[in-house]
Structure 1
Amino acid sequence: MPSRTSQAPRVAVLADSDTRWKWGALTARRIAEDEAELTGFLLRGRATPTARQLAEVGVDADELREVTGVEFLHATRDEGYDLVVLALVGGAVQAMLHGLAALRLPRRPVLVTGYVGVVYEKLADGLLLRHGADVVLANSRHDADRFRAVYEGVGADASSVTEAALPFLGGAPYARQEGRDTVVFAVQPSVPESRADRTYLLRRLVEHARLHPSREVLLKLRSKPGEHTTHLEEVPYQKLADRLPGGLPPNFSLVYGHMGEVLDRTDLLVTVSSTAALEALHRRIPTAVLTDLGVREALGNHHFLGSGLLTSWDRLDGGHRPEPDEEWLARQGVAADGAYETAFEEARKRVAELLSQPELPPVTPYYTPATAPGYLPGILARHRLAADGTPLAGAAPAAEVTGVRRVVRDAVRGAARGAYRHGVQRVAPVIRRMGEL
């Protein structure tokens, strides 16, 4: 890939959770040269991944450090990256775009962003918050069409939308093994949200295990209690499992680990709307999307309309195995037909063209103080930026703390993050229940 220097491009990825780090780092690897130097930045916040989560993701960088948004902007200015992947929630992407624009760099980096999985909610809001990046990646032809329609609908430039695919699809095609019968339920941190709904799904999974004692039934968990991923998990399945009447059958297990490794032993993947369904479908693993709680936008399973995958626990208990619709698969970027290796060619070509230009145009997001004066300032302020994208007073990073002071600082930050998570997972639900009395 051409670069503005004679060396391989310097690439930075800024991510705010374990799943977005996985998406961002793998995307960078897909669209940059293999020998490109990759620096990872973890945005400090409620979902900053733990060492365990990073190890489970299994994606390395030449350097990885935790920063605030302002510290990242200063690093971009001082360290001279050629390509920056913003693997963040929409508001953080918008803040970094305005912050980078305010730097007025003589040679700014190419800016890439996108989504970590299925886009089933806040389509317009999330997309317009990402507008201004040079490349807005769509994980499928279906998403690319929707993205362009949103931008064109508000009169914004849609040329940044670039069709690609999820960067973490892969693994060996499914082959049924004699004597193996494994069902995996892939949980989601926030879908469904209520304790009653999550308890229902867990109960049905356990009942399925009891109905089929020779079948191995696995509950695939995203994080341990106290950890956060892309979304908050107020009611962890681990705690629900501990309190389930009658306990757990011997053929039922809770598992962590890399999703690809779990799929290596899966004969049926069951979920409400997890991106794990797309990973399974890419490998032709039998997949089921549950309708037990309804087909609703809030659950995200409406995304699978027309897929042929929608079914219920009653039908699965009786032996039903959904058959995916091939046309739906093709439009969703699953690439089960073997086209995955070419899925990133358009993105590579576009990034290469941008890197070959001696100068890039200014960053021009759709949202400005003129187009969204009641919305944009609040988004920027959450990342300690003023309305013009410059750091607020007192937000500039101080000299790097070392020695004992750094140990104390990190301990305080860890305690504060733990207190926040305790408040979210323990205190807030109690307050809400009291308010319902």
Structure 2
Amino acid sequence: MPSRTRPADAPLRIAVVADSDTRWKWGALTARRIAERAPELSGFLVRCRATPTARQLAEVGEVGVDADALREVTMAAFLRAIEREPYDVVVLALVGGAAQAALHGLARLWPGHTQRPVLVTGYVGVVYEKLADGLLLRHGADVVLANSRHDAERFRAVYEGVGAEASAVTEAALPFLGGAPYRPEPGRETVVFAAQPSVPESRADRLYLLRRLVGHARRHPGREVLLKLRSKPGEHTTHIEEQPYQKLARSMELPPNFRLVYGNMGEVLDRTDLLVTVSSTAALESLHRSVPTAVLTDLGVRETLGNHHFVGSGCLASWDQLDAGHRPAPAADWLAAQGVAPGEAYATAFDGVRERIAELVSRPQLPPVQPYYTLATAPGYLPGLLARHHLAPDGTPLPGAAPEAEATGVRRLVRDAVRDAARGAYRHGVQRVAPVIRRMGEL
């Protein structure tokens, strides 16, 4: 790879590779948090079903997420770029399988002790499912970020429990917490429901939540009731949304004090007096700002919903309680353990990570990248996982995985049009065709 030598006072050269709008936001903000000064930031968006649209990128840009360069790539093209360009740090803001593929591809580039980028990965928000699977797919990075003390303890326990090296786990916090502390305003009563693309999943459960939200608006005509949506119809975020709330709302008569809103969650929280959700990471943003926050129990407290993560938080409540005026009071010890306690602690949450990154970058050599999953530990799992990202079992790009040169001119316009049409067809299938087939199968 090109020389990484640079003046001691030069900004870090950081590459962020992401596969959705939320992961791009997390990765870019993490890059800025882990650097002592503003880094030189390059962004890579992996082509997949959730590749951000221009609108999603613009929305994320409103919170200060930008890059000196941003390009859409295949996994193979990303690996080629990292091999050719001199980066100090690479942030893998990817779903677990893609992170593992990237780690194996990077391990192939530097099979021994050598000068290479420091590899950083982590989670966008609450880790409520696939704890062991997700962590082991991220093993091999030099730094695995934990968003809280609670997560750091769990992460180390998983790695140590399978005999994997756990020293990469480093406690930090969610990089996008912030904003002004909650201040109620006389005469303002704004209730916001933070929707999630895949929780709950079924049409019946989502209709139930929507009807309760609309019912709350009717019971309290003096309140502004907002349904905060993550994406517009046809767009994807981290998860697939088969039953968009926008579509479900079309069949209802909505009261005048009820609205659907998009945009930056921070701006919505600026005017929120009660944040309601099933298990969205927005609850952590809200709690960090001391906004009254309710995590719904109406559909049960279940691992599949993710609201079990909030057991002990003091935030669990039902719509019946909220309709009657209840406002949950969060438990201070739970907030501290989750890394979202209001106050000064957040200002120093990334100090340890910055020190670790600086020490790793200063080394003349780093050890080879060694993921836990190999052909020896997971011969029935790893090859198929890598193949989904067009890599061979040794991390080598498969033939045809990426052209040597990107298309230009008319060829690029045609390619992009075909790709956009394919994504549109996929999203149509997910949101329209698949639910119909599923309902027919239940007859």
Tell me which interval the TM-score lies in, with the shorter structure as reference length: over 0.9
Q: Distance in 1 between matches of 2:275 and 2:136?
A: 33
Q: Distance in 1 between matches of 2:287 and 2:304?
A: 23
Letter of the aligned partner of 2:174 in structure 1?
L
Q: Deviations over 1:302-333 (max 9, x none)?
A: 00000000000000000000000000000000
Letter of the aligned partner of 2:157 in structure 1?
A
Is 1:318 aligned to 2:324, yes or no?
Answer: yes
Counting only pairs closer than 5 Å after superposition, residues 1-400 of structure 1 correspond to structure 2 as 4-6=5-7, 7-58=10-61, 59-104=65-110, 106-244=114-252, 247-400=253-406
Q: Are the counterparts in 2 of residues 269 and 287 from structure 1 also a CA contact under 8 Å? A: yes
Q: Distance in 2 between matches of 1:397 and 1:141?
A: 44
Q: Are the counterparts in 2 of residues 4 and 358 from structure 1 also a CA contact under 8 Å? A: no
Which residue of structure 1 aligns with residue 416 of structure 2?
Answer: 410
Q: How many residues align?
A: 433
What is the RMSD computed on CA atoms of the aligned residues? 0.9
Q: Distance in 2 between matches of 1:332 and 1:410?
A: 42
Instruction: Tell me the CA shift for residue 251 of structure 1.
Output: 0.3
Q: Deviations over 1:42-98 (max 9, x none)?
A: 010000000111111121100101000000000000112110000000000000000
TM-score (structure 1 length as normaliser): 0.98
Show structure 1 runs of 5+ residues with no match. none
Letter of the aligned partner of 2:141 in structure 1?
A
Match of 1:424 among 409, 415, 430: 430
Q: Are the counterparts in 2 of residues 4 and 355 from structure 1 also a CA contact under 8 Å? A: no
Letter of the aligned partner of 1:184 in structure 2?
V
Instruction: Tell me the CA shift for residue 433 of structure 1.
Output: 1.2
TM-score (structure 2 length as normaliser): 0.97
Q: Distance in 1 between matches of 2:202 and 2:344?
A: 39
Q: Distance in 2 between matches of 1:407 and 1:431?
A: 34
Q: Distance in 2 between matches of 1:79 and 1:335?
A: 39
Q: Deviations over 1:358-416 (max 9, x none)?
A: 00000000000000000000111011111111111222423121111111110000000
Q: Deviations over 1:215-240 (max 9, x none)?
A: 00000000000000000000000010
Q: Distance in 2 between matches of 1:210 and 1:400?
A: 55
Query: Equivalent residue of 1:421, what SS?
Result: helix
Poorly superposed stretches of 4+, deviation over 4 Å: none
Q: Are the counterparts in 1 of residues 92 and 121 from structure 2 also a CA contact under 8 Å? A: yes
Q: Distance in 2 between matches of 1:112 and 1:291?
A: 35
Query: Equivalent residue of 1:41, what SS?
Result: strand
Q: Distance in 1 between matches of 2:21 and 2:38?
A: 23
Query: Equivalent residue of 2:205, what SS?
Result: helix
Query: 3-12 vs 158-167, which deviates more?
Result: 3-12
Instruction: Tell me the CA shift for residue 346 of structure 1.
Output: 0.8
Letter of the aligned partner of 2:206 in structure 1?
R
Q: Distance in 1 between matches of 2:400 and 2:70?
A: 25
Q: Distance in 1 between matches of 2:120 and 2:340?
A: 21
Q: Distance in 2 between matches of 1:61 and 1:50?
A: 16
Q: Deviations over 1:283-308 (max 9, x none)?
A: 00000000000000000000000000
Letter of the aligned partner of 1:392 in structure 2?
L
